[in-house]
């Protein structure tokens, strides 16, 4: 078989490149070995490299106390001049660049510093005796001499800053106008401000304010505090603290008045002796909600979070969440316990926290407001005097009726809200509009009019839907098509949506709580009462008679030496009552507490009457026996009792045993009985060599139901063996089994077996490794179906700083899921689409691709691998910073079980395996040799990227990109730099539709570029660039030849200005250029491309900038862009 021309060309290019690269590498390594010399460097001198960001002009050096005259700063364009191009504060190490820096441009700084710098502040304090008091009627004594010297505690010179005062202020303010041929003129502004330091001894001030790309009001400022991206100002004193901006609002006293929110506003706290207090007023960033659910076997995520009505598509307020798993609070982070996508409200657990069907997950969070602006205020105070303490707190939260967010309310809407009262169904407006829409009208069940989904913009009606209580609607959500949720009719009283336009009801909630605690000897009494008011519609005076509710609790405890028994003992009696109308700002019960009473998950346990009696006995240290009896009555009519006992011991062997027995009835259900019986036993023997452990559990739950007797039984045992406390090598292994039986009319029995193993090498060594593995096998005993899920992580690390060698390898295996997605052709009208009827991209067609997202989840196993190794070498000025690095990253998401080949996914397998939902591979070999050399500064790079996406049911796309480049830089004296680069790139892309057209294209690009830079000083810089490109798709004999030529000029204008300009002219011959994937955007380089920038330093801390760009292509409209800005630094 004859080889393909494209592959032969690539093979020949790769062979030549490999030979040249090997020869150059051998030459460079031989030069490096000969260039090694024993150079003794001053430990108080060094270099620092910074990368300029957008608008970055100020940099903090890694050291303070810079020696005078030792600093030098330069960029790739040449050296900068102190006093004209940059300013340096040698005391604090603050560098401010006055010259213009492009984003991503590197800045080098070389300086020397004091190894042991002295303190930056010194306060001289003088003492003198206070003047004596003059007798009555006598003239005042002469205090002239003493007045000049004041005691620090009694007076000071107001013309001088107090001792210890030191503030550091930094930041910038920018106002700009953006314009262009394809956009309207827009006014932009940004502000970055940072303040830190002390105002006086013991008084600290910290502030951060960021405000970017926001419109200005007529007065030149943003509209409100929420318009700022980030603002935080904190003032701390010995007995006082105040915060402004993004602050946490937390109240912890008592149980009924607790509060934990992320808000934007002001907060103050004070404390003196036994008196404390706090006040806060803010705008709420979101609405609080708690969601609890059970996990799924082998599914680490993502789990979608919803609003309080069950709706999706919300945004989580960053940092507002609290996640617990089986009662344990988790930590956010990829290397920790979970990752939360705030924008899409999706929660994914790391493999450190295996998720099973027995996992109990609780998430408390705030989601972004979509109804009204919401304000919140809170105040609390407390007093402690000996054994007596008293606290009081008040909270109010209300929607601003005049500031609706996602809707516009007219007078008719306001009248409808006033008449609706608290009924959500009465606050729904008309939701059907005749005209182009997604729905058509149909007749069902005789003459009943309904609406059915017809496709994007393919129906005669635009229909909107509103969520109502489950079982109160006629429609249910179906899927997401083209980014919009679709709905289908399911019958009267069977859905959760009705047709209509939502009129959001403004709400208000208020709460006052008072608590007292007193003790005398072994006796202690604690009480708390609270009163709340919640108005579900402040726009209406109807239904306001049921807004007020109350709650109260009492607790009496006695603790002391146990009579007739060794150790100590105690008893406690508690009672609480929470009315159904009481509305707290935080949840009152722990997660999944309803299961301990035999209630289903989600049942209302907040509103209840409960009495408890408990006793405990500690016969010795670290040993305790506890018993409890409780009776419960909920607002929904459930009545039950609960008995519980627990024994813990942590002496020679760690023991924990617990027993729970609860039973109750819910008379409103057809099957009213509920209850729970649960027994647990845990034993662990910590040793110096081995640590064995054993865990047993039996759990039986019965829940009231209208449909069938519901019973869940779970039996589990697990045994583990781990290394002891004296072992340097840590390891553990374990095995467990769980059997679950679910009865709800039908009976389902599953058995799960889990095998665990892990280990870790001693810390602090040059070579380190760790690994964790868990395999879970779940078998359905009825059908015999079997499912396997794996969780694994491995890490290998090696460091040898003496030789400059480093390496790291990471592997992670987990199980995830995604919504099923379909890309389908949809007719959108003659000439209104970009595809033809077969799915071919034609630019102007009658069809478009429409994305449909199903609520059904598709599971897959995921493995991600990364390998990195590097060698840094070079001691001389020419070779310092030389490096050779290799990186490999792969990710495989497979339907079904993983294969061993997925750990190091090959490019060939990723491109052809249909069982891979997604595959991604990145390989990169890079070498930078002699970066400081004047004759041979080289950079070699070889890279390959492969991506395959088969996550759609009827569409697949793969891309394969290979690139090789060699860059050579020489310097002729201090003014001339020549840089040349050669690059070869091969790309292939394929697209395939099920029962449709397929597309495949491969493109080869060969690029040669050379640049000559002349910069005699920092005021003048000129360069010329020549670039030649040969491009063609495989199968086309002729190349598209493109030659781009043009100058780059930088010129100082006076002492304060600078002009930068770039012009490129492209000459194209041969066939027209084509893009790798079909696109409406033109391929190839523009014929003319130019950009320019003018910067003028108006003041030492103020600059003006004007930039513009233009692109011109034959047959297309010329595009122009521009920006004018004024920036002030402080």
Tokens 């926001």 label which residue? Answer: 214
464 to each of 440, 487, 491, 852, how far by Cα in Å?
A: 13, 9, 17, 19
pLDDT score of 123 more than 60: no
The two most distant CA atoms of the chain are separated, in Å, by 124
How far does the chain reach from its first CA to its final CA, in angstroms?
71
Q: Is the pLDDT of residue 437 over 90?
A: no
Predicted local distance difference test score (pLDDT) of residue 476? 83
Where does the pLDDT of residue 654 fall: very low under 50, low under 70, confident under 90, or very high at 90 and above?
very high
Tell me the backbone φ, ψ of residue 25, rounded to 5 degrees.
-65, -40
The two three-digit tokens of residue 248, written as one number: 């946490």
Residue scoring higher pLDDT (126 or 10): 126
Reply yes or no on whether the pLDDT at 23 is more than 60.
no
Task: Kindly tell me if the per-residue pLDDT of 18 is higher than 50.
Answer: no
Whole-angstrom distance, CA of residue 464 vs CA of residue 954: 29
Digit-coded pLDDT (tens) for 293-352: 888 887 888 898 988 888 888 888 888 889 999 888 888 876 678 888 888 888 999 888
Kind of pairing between the strands at 338-341 and 346-349: antiparallel
Q: How would residue 638 be classed by pLDDT, with cut points 50, 70 and 90?
A: very high
pLDDT score recorded for residue 315: 87
161-196: pLDDT as tens digits: 455 557 777 777 888 888 887 777 777 877 777 787
Q: What is the rounded CA–CA span in Å between residue 66 and residue 59?
A: 14
| 96, β-bridge pairs | 58, 87
Q: Is 70 exceeded by the pLDDT of residue 1097?
A: yes
Residue 982 CA, distance from chain mean position: 40
Q: Is 1043 helix (H, G, I), strand (E, B) or coil?
A: strand
Q: How far apart are CA 745 and CA 708, in angstroms?
A: 6
Please list the residues that pair with 338 across neighbouring strands: 332, 349
Question: Which tens digits make up the pLDDT trace of 531-557?
Answer: 999 998 888 888 888 899 999 999 999
Task: Report the alpha-carbon distance of residue 677 to residue 713 in Å, rounded.
Answer: 10
- CA 26/CA 23 separation, integer angstroms: 5
Model's pTM, two decimal places?
A: 0.72
Q: Which residue has the tokens 């069902």?
A: 444
Cβ 365 vs Cβ 318: under 8 Å: no
Burial of 460 (0-12, 13-18, 19+ CB in 10 A): middle
Tokens of 554: 């009492």
- Give phi and psi for 468, each to the nearest 5: -125, -175
Q: Count CA within 13 A, CB hemisphere, residue 933.
A: 21
Give residue-wise pLDDT tens across range 343-401: 888 899 988 888 888 889 999 998 888 888 889 999 999 999 888 999 999 999 999 88
Helix or strand holding residue 268 (H, E): strand 259-272
CA 684/CA 692 separation, integer angstroms: 6
């Amino acid at each position: 078989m004859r080889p393909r021309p494209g592959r032969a060309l690539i093979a020949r290019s790769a062979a030549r490149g490999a030979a040249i690269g090997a020869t150059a590498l051998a030459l460079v390594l031989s030069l490096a070995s000969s260039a090694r010399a024993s150079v003794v460097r001053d430990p108080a001198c060094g270099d620092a490299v910074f990368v300029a960001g957008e608008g970055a002009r100020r940099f903090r050096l890694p050291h303070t106390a810079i020696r005078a005259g030792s600093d030098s700063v330069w960029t790739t364009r040449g050296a900068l001049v102190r006093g004209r191009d940059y300013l340096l504060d040698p005391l604090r190490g603050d560098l401010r660049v006055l010259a213009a820096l492009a984003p991503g441009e590197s800045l080098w700084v070389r300086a020397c510093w004091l190894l042991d710098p002295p303190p930056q502040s010194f306060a001289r304090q003088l003492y003198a005796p206070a003047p004596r008091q003059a007798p009555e009627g006598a003239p005042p004594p002469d205090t002239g001499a003493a007045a000049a010297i004041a005691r620090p505690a009694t007076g000071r010179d107001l013309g001088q800053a107090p001792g210890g005062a030191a503030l550091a202020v930094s930041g910038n303010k920018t106002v700009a106008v953006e314009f262009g041929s394809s956009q309207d003129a827009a006014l932009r502004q940004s502000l970055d401000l940072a303040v830190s330091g002390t105002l006086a001894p013991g008084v600290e001030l910290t502030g951060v304010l960021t405000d970017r790309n926001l419109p200005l009001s007529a007065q030149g400022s943003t509209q409100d505090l929420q318009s700022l991206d980030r603002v935080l100002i904190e003032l701390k004193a010995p007995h006082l603290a105040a915060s402004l901006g993004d602050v946490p609002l937390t109240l912890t006293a008592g149980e009924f008045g607790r509060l934990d929110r992320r808000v934007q506003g002001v907060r103050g706290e004070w404390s003196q002796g036994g008196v404390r207090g706090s006040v806060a007023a803010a705008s709420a960033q979101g609405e609080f909600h708690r969601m609890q659910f059970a996990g799924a076997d082998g599914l680490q995520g993502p789990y979608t979070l919803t609003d309080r009505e069950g709706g999706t598509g919300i945004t989580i307020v960053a940092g507002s969440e609290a996640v617990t798993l089986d009662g344990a609070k988790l930590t956010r982070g990829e290397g920790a316990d979970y990752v939360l996508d705030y924008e899409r409200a999706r929660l994914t657990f790391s493999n450190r926290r295996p998720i099973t069907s027995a996992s109990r997950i609780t998430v408390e969070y705030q989601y972004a407001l979509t109804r009204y602006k919401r304000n919140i205020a809170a105040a609390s105070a407390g007093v402690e005097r000996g054994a007596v303490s008293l606290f009081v707190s008040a909270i109010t939260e209300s929607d601003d009726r005049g500031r609706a967010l996602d809707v516009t309310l007219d007078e008719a809407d306001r009248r409808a809200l006033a008449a609706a009262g608290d009924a959500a169904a009465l606050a729904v407006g008309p939701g059907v509009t005749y005209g182009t829409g997604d729905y058509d009208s149909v007749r069902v069940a005789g003459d009943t009019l309904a609406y059915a989904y017809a496709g994007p913009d393919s129906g005669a009606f635009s229909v909107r839907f509103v969520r109502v209580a489950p079982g109160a609607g006629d429609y249910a959500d179906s899927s997401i098509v083209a980014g919009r949720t679709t709905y289908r009719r399911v019958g009267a009283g069977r859905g959760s949506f009705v047709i209509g336009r939502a009129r959001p009801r403004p709400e208000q909630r208020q709460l006052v709580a008072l608590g007292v605690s007193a003790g005398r000897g072994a006796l202690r009494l604690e009480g708390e009462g609270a009163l709340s008011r919640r108005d579900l519609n402040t726009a209406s005076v109807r239904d306001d008679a049921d807004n007020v509710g109350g709650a109260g609790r009492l607790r009496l405890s006695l603790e002391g030496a146990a009579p007739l028994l060794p150790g100590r003992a105690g008893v406690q009696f508690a009672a609480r009552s929470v009315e159904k109308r009481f509305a707290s700002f935080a949840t009152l019960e722990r997660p999944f507490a309803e299961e301990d009473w035999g209630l289903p998950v989600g049942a209302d346990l907040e509103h209840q009457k409960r009495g408890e009696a408990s006793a405990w006995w500690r016969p010795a240290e670290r040993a305790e026996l506890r018993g409890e009896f409780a009776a419960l009555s909920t607002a929904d009519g459930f009545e039950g009792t609960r008995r519980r006992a627990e024994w813990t011991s942590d002496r020679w062997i760690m023991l924990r045993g617990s027993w729970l027995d609860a039973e109750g009835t819910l008379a409103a259900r057809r099957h009213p009985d509920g209850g729970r019986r649960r027994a647990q036993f845990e034993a662990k023997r910590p040793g110096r060599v081995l640590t064995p452990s054993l865990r047993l559990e039996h759990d039986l739950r019965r829940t009231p139901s209208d449909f069938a007797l519901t019973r869940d039984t779970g039996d589990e045992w697990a045994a583990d063996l781990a290394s002891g406390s004296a072992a340097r090598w840590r390891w553990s292994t374990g095995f467990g089994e769980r059997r679950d039986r679910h009865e709800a009319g039908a009976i389902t029995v599953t058995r799960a077996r889990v095998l665990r193993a892990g280990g870790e090498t001693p810390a602090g060594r040059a070579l380190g490794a760790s690994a964790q593995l868990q395999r879970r096998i779940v078998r359905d005993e009825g059908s015999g179906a079997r499912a396997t899920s794996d969780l694994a992580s491995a890490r290998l690390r090696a460091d040898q700083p003496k030789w400059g060698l480093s390496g790291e390898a990471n592997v992670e295996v987990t199980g995830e899921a995604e919504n099923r997605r379909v890309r389908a052709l949809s007719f959108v009208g003659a000439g209104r689409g970009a595809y033809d009827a077969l799915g071919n991209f034609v630019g102007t067609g009658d069809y478009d691709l429409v994305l449909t997202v199903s609520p059904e989840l598709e599971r897959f196993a995921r493995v991600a691998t990364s390998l990195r190794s590097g060698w840094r070498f070079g001691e001389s000025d020419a070779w310092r910073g030389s490096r050779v690095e290799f990186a490999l990253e792969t990710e495989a998401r497979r339907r079904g079980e993983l294969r061993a080949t997925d750990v190091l996914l090959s490019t060939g397998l990723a491109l052809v395996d249909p069982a891979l939902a997604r595959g991604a591979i990145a390989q990169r070999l890079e070498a930078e040799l002699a970066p400081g050399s004047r004759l041979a500064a080289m950079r070699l790079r070889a890279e390959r990227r492969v991506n395959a996406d088969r996550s759609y049911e009827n569409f697949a796309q793969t891309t394969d990109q290979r690139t090789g480049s060699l860059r050579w830089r020489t310097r002729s004296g201090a003014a001339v730099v020549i840089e040349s680069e050669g690059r070869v790139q091969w790309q292939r892309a394929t697209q395939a539709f099920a029962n449709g057209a397929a597309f495949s294209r491969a493109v080869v690009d060969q690029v040669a570029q050379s640049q000559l830079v002349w910069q005699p000083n920092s005021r003048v810089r000129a360069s010329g660039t020549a670039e030649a490109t040969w491009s063609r798709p495989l199968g086309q004999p002729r190349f598209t030849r493109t030659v781009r030529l043009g100058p780059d000029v930088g010129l100082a204008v006076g002492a304060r200005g600078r002009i930068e300009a770039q012009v490129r002219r492209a000459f194209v011959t041969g066939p027209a250029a084509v893009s790798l994937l079909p696109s409406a955007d033109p391929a190839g380089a523009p014929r003319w491309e130019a950009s320019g920038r003018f910067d003028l330093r108006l003041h030492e801390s103020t600059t003006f900038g004007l930039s513009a760009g233009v692109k011109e292509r034959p047959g297309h409209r010329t595009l122009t862009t521009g920006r004018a800005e004024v920036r002030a630094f402080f």
